Amino acid sequence: MVKRKFVKQALSQWMNGEGADSDVVLSSRVRIARNVRNLPFPMMADPTQSLTIMEQLLGVAESGRLNGLGKIELIRLSDLTELEKLVLVEKHLISPSLANESRNGALILSPNEDISIMINEEDHLRIQCLCSGFQVREAWDLASKIDDIFEEQVDYAFDEKHGFLTSCPTNVGTGIRASVMMHLPALVMTGQINRILSAVTQVGLAVRGLYGEGSEATGNLFQVSNQITLGQSEQEIIENLFQVARQMIEHEKSARSKLITESRPRVEDRIRRSYGILTQAIIMDTKEASQRLSDIRLGAHLGLLPELNDQILNELLVSTQPGFLQQTFGEALSPEQRDMTRAELIRSRLATTS
């Protein structure tokens, strides 16, 4: 089946590292939450109601109105195994919430996986657009166009005073969550990260880990997103995130220049130690892999490991996750087996670059 390619390939096109400022920003994302008028939110809907919602929203795609996105794939979550769902979570194509609640859940995917439209997640409809590098404005433009297509066919739940109505009150208003995934190792190494993140939260933005709300910021990866959806226009939300992220990018680049100028021997030693361990280790857990991959990502962007590129590093970021490892090797693995398999995969992949 076509859907199998989405769980067998680690690298999505939006992870190709070709976007603006991709040395700091891995990806930009915009997600729009919408609900159908006069039908209960997914958590309160009975099976008949959730099925009605799924068929109505899939019908928009089946009608051909999304043909401009390429040959889209329609996937019902009931057709996926638990492991396949986990892989899609690790690739950021569905949320943990949708993976864990598959009752009449569905997914609409574009061929290059930059568009992921979730049905019957926390809200009836969640339109997600992902772009490589720092392209939050571009992600918003694409998400907005898709939203317009659905709005032509679906009567959205909307209130003149409060805006778009959503399952969680924190999304009421515009229903927009915009974010950038940033790699900030130099700010961490120079001790500036807490000050920067404190300033970010004071201007209405949230900072989370690689997998969003509730996840730990491992591997020096931080997801910065808007918290406010009510009382600001869509454009104000996007521009606020853009301007703050732009400043964070400049701070990180400045910190990298300082590191290489003032502490090059120590920085290079750390990077090459991590590279050596990654190419030789027999056992590697997720947390250590994340940190050491962060080190060599920094090394690549500082010109210390020129044989590495963003595509290789982004591929490893996904392919070393627990679900993807088990999907790749076609069997359930114990934690120790996963750690050994992860180390083997990293050694093998890095060997191709030397």
What pLDDT was estimated at residue 2?
Answer: 44
Q: pLDDT confidence of 102, banded at 50, 70, 90?
A: low
Query: What integer is the mean pLDDT of 280-292?
Result: 96
Q: What is the pLDDT of residue 339?
A: 96
Q: Longest C-alpha distance within the chain, in Å?
A: 64
pLDDT (mean) for 126-130: 97
pLDDT value, residue 68:
82
Cβ(85)–Cβ(94) below 8 Å: yes
Q: Do the bridges between strand 176-183 and strand 221-226 make them parallel or antiparallel, or are there none, so unpaired?
A: antiparallel
Q: What is the pLDDT of residue 5?
A: 64
The pLDDT value recorded for residue 213 is 54
Any known ligand binding at 206? no
Please indicate if the annotation marks 178 as binding a ligand: yes
181 annotated to bind ligand: yes
Q: Does 154 belong to an annotated binding site?
A: no
Known binder of ligand: residue 210? yes
The answer on whether 37 is annotated among ligand-binding residues is no
Residue 175 marked ligand-binding: no
Has 273 been labeled as part of a binding site?
no
List, for residues 226-282, the tens digit of each pLDDT value: 988 888 899 999 999 999 999 999 999 999 999 999 999 999 999 999 999 999 999
The verdict on whether residue 213 carries a ligand-binding annotation is: yes
Question: Given pLDDT bands bounded at 50, 70 and 90, which one contains residue 108?
Answer: very high
- What mean pLDDT comes out for the span 11-22? 84
Condensed to tens digits (0 to 9), the pLDDT of residues 169-202 reads 989 999 999 999 999 999 999 999 999 999 999 9
What integer pLDDT is reported at residue 331 of this predicted model? 78
Please report which confidence band the pLDDT of residue 211 belongs to, taking 50, 70 and 90 as the band edges: low
275 is in an annotated binding site: no
pLDDT at position 3, please? 53
CATH domain 4-256 topology: Creatine Kinase; Chain A, domain 2 (3.30.590)
Residue for token pair 């068929």: 55
| Average pLDDT of the residues in 303-312 | 92
Q: Where in the chain is the domain with CATH 3.30.590.10?
A: 4-256
Find, among 127, 179, 149, 156, the residue nearest to 53 by Cα. Answer: 156
User: Over 70: is that where the pLDDT of 73 sits?
Assistant: yes
CA 257 centroid distance within chain: 28
Per-residue pLDDT at 159 exceeds 90: yes
User: Per the annotation, does 30 bind a ligand?
Assistant: yes
pLDDT of residue 1: 43
216 band by pLDDT with thresholds 50, 70 and 90 = low
- What rounded mean pLDDT belongs to the chain? 91
Is 294 annotated among the ligand-binding residues?
no
Query: Contact 27/132 with Cβ under 8 angstroms?
Result: yes
Question: Is 0.85 topped by the overall pTM?
Answer: yes
173: annotated binding-site residue?
no
Would the annotation count 200 as a binding residue? Answer: no
Q: In percent, how much of the chain has pLDDT > 70?
A: 94
Q: Is 263 annotated as a binding residue?
A: no
> What is the C-alpha end-to-end distance of the chain, expressed in Å?
36
Residue 209 assigned as binding residue: yes
pLDDT at 215 over 80: no
What is the pLDDT at residue 103?
76
